[in-house]
Amino acid sequence: MTQIFNFSAGPAMIPTAVLEQAQAELLNWQEQGTSVMEISHRGKYFMDMITQCEKDLRQLFHIPDNYKVLFLQGGARGQFAAVPMNLANNKGKALYLVNGHWSSVAAKEAASFTQVDEINILNSDRMLRVDRLDFSDIAEQYDYVHYCTNETISGVEIFDVPNVGNAVLVADMSSDILSRHIDISKFGVIYAGAQKNMGPSGITLVIVRDDLIGNARQETPSIWNYAVQAKSDSMINTPPTFAWYLCGLVFKHLLTHGGLEAAEQRNRAKAELLYNYLNSNTFYHNYVAEENRSIMNVTFTTDNHELNAKFVAEATKAGLQALKGHKVLGGMRASIYNAMPIEGVQALIAFMQKFAQENA
Ligand SMILES: *Cc1c(COP(=O)(O)O)cnc(C)c1O
């Protein structure tokens, strides 16, 4: 079998070592004679597992003590609704910074629950660029300010944290969580679906500052209520136990491979390799300004649709999978999350060189 590299944007690669461990202990987890999926989530073994999982995550991500860690269901889209239900209850309006698809969808969903003001922060004159990050003059009239750190579809990432003064900052980090160091103390709420950079789909990480818990509007369903979930160890109902377990294995794996600092170095090295290659030729184009080029999702295109389709088809045959860009954008997208080894990026570049030579 030729070596396969999976560039899927999500659900995405999980480290091979993690999958092997899950496979090895599938039928007999913790000497229980059953899998982790078949035991009570309230029993000692599962509870010990989630305690360790949270401990590892706190260490890995440097989560301050005044933040709660929740593992919920419903994905990032669930949080698009949960955030306003939990936070928009004082001033009655929220500010959404929009720089792509997901931040725009988040704003639309929130508008069902609160008044939403949107500011487009994406400058698309020539290259896609985020050119405004200081909102300290207006932010405090809002219950919170929401933005998306990494727009997964276009590959536009915001590396600096917006300045919102003393206002509450909320971030959708679904596609760049755990890819680099973040100063969590600047945020009120951080959330991320697991299926890009943490584990399988079905579980959603929510990190909430303590003082923002307990103000949900009265009609908030229990499963979306941060206070209820915090009080019940994220188990107001049966959690996705296997997904939770796999996330725990991924956190442990990252910790034993140098933590986030080492992961960030690996991610930056992979992205630099690919962007340097894109810069070095005129056959492929990337339309994101240097300072906002995502280190997780690298988008590129040739001069025409037919050539793009040919590229994706031949790449797939060569073992480079899921390079087709999102349907709203077209072109190609290489998602190079934590689990993608540098060998995958090297193989992609070698293929791109060959394809360019044959089709120039
Ligand atoms: C994938 C993605 C989503 C949607 O996630 P679901 O878990 O499917 O709801 C939202 N935001 C970002 C940035 C994403 O990458």
Q: Tens place of pLDDT for every residue, the chain, 360 residues?
A: 678 999 999 999 999 999 999 999 999 999 999 999 999 999 999 999 999 999 999 999 999 999 999 999 999 999 999 999 999 999 999 999 999 999 999 999 999 999 999 999 999 998 999 999 999 999 999 999 999 999 999 999 999 999 999 999 999 999 999 999 999 999 999 999 999 999 999 999 999 999 999 999 999 999 999 999 999 999 999 999 999 999 999 999 999 999 999 999 999 999 999 999 999 999 999 999 999 999 999 999 999 999 999 999 999 999 999 999 999 889 999 999 999 999 999 999 999 999 999 999
**273: domain CATH number?**
3.90.1150.10
**How many whole angstroms separate alpha carbon 29 and alpha carbon 180?**
31
Nearest to 86 by CA among 235, 206, 244: 206
294 part of a folded domain: yes
User: What is the structure's pLDDT at 1?
Assistant: 61
Beta strand 93-98 with 115-120 is: parallel
Annotate 276-296 with DSSP letters as a single string: HHHHT-SSSB--B-GGGB-SS
Whether 225 is in a domain gets the answer: yes
**Closest-lying ligand 1 atom to the alpha carbon of residue 193:** 7
Q: From ligand 1's centre to the CA of 135, what distance in Å?
A: 25
Beta-carbon contacts of 15 under 8 Å, excluding residues fewer than 6 positions away, are 250, 253, 338, 339
Residues whose beta carbon lies within 6 Å of some atom of ligand 1: 10, 75-77, 102, 148, 152, 172, 174-175, 193, 196
Question: Structural domain of residue 246, as residue ranges?
Answer: 17-256
| Nearest protein CA to atom 2 of ligand 1, as residue | 174
Active-site residue (options: 172, 176, 270, 324): 172
Last residue of a domain, one of 256, 284, 317: 256
| 1 belongs to a structural domain | no
Q: What share of the chain is helix, strand, coil (3-state, %, to 5)?
A: 40, 20, 40
User: Which residue of 71, 102, 173, 329 sits with most ligand 1 atoms within 8 Å of its CB, as the best mutation to test the pocket?
Assistant: 102
What's the gap in Å between 11 CA and the centre of ligand 1?
10
Whole-angstrom distance, CA of residue 153 vs CA of residue 176: 12
Q: How many CA atoms lie within 13 A of 233 on its CB side?
A: 16
Same domain, 41 and 124: yes
Terminal Cα distance for the chain, rounded: 30
Q: Can you give the pLDDT at residue 2?
A: 74
Residue from 175, 204, 206 to probe ligand 1 pocket by mutation (most atoms less than 8 Å from CB): 175
Residue 4 is assigned to a structural domain of this protein:
no
Hey, what are 238's tokens?
Answer: 């049966």
Q: Distance between CA atoms of 102 and 76, rounded to whole angstroms?
A: 10
Tokens of 180: 């680099």
Number of domains, the chain: 2
Among 256, 288, 321, the domain boundary falls at: 256
Contact 69, 205 (CB under 8 A): yes
* Ligand 1 atom 7, closest CA: 75
- Which residue, judged by its Cα, is nearest atom 14 of ligand 1? 174
CA of 174 to the centre of ligand 1 (A): 6
256 Cβ neighbours under 8 A, 6+ residues apart: none
Q: Is 102 a catalytic residue?
A: yes
pLDDT confidence of residue 195:
98
Q: What pTM was computed for the model?
A: 0.98
Q: How far is CA 212 from the centre of its chain?
A: 22
User: Is 217 annotated as contributing to ligand binding?
Assistant: no
Secondary structure (DSSP) of 233-293: TT-SS---HHHHHHHHHHHHHHHTTTHHHHHHHHHHHHHHHHHHHHHT-SSSB--B-GGGB
Residues 146 and 172 in one domain: yes
Sign of the CA dihedral running 339, 342, 344, 349: positive
Residues 135 and 266 in one domain: no
Question: From the centroid of its chain, how far is CA 19?
Answer: 20
Same domain, residue pair 284 and 166: no
CA of 2 to the centre of ligand 1 (A): 31
Which entry of 196, 244, 270, 324 is annotated as an active-site residue?
196
> Are the C-beta atoms of 86 and 110 separated by less than 8 Å?
no
Report the C-alpha gap between 338 and 15 in whole angstroms: 8
HEC letters along 200-229 = CCCCEEEEEEHHHCCCCCCCCCHHHCHHHH
Which residue CA neighbors atom 12 of ligand 1 most closely? 174
Residues 215 and 181 in one domain: yes
Contacts 24+ apart (CB under 8 A), 37-45: 37/241, 37/242, 39/241, 41/235, 41/238, 41/239, 41/241, 42/235
- On whether both 147 and 54 belong to a single domain, the answer is yes
What is the C-alpha to C-alpha distance for residues 235 and 110, in angstroms, rounded to an integer? 25
Q: Is 237 annotated as a binding residue?
A: yes
Which amino acid type is present at position 54? E
Which residue do the tokens 């951080």 mark? 190
Provide the CATH number for the domain around residue 209: 3.40.640.10
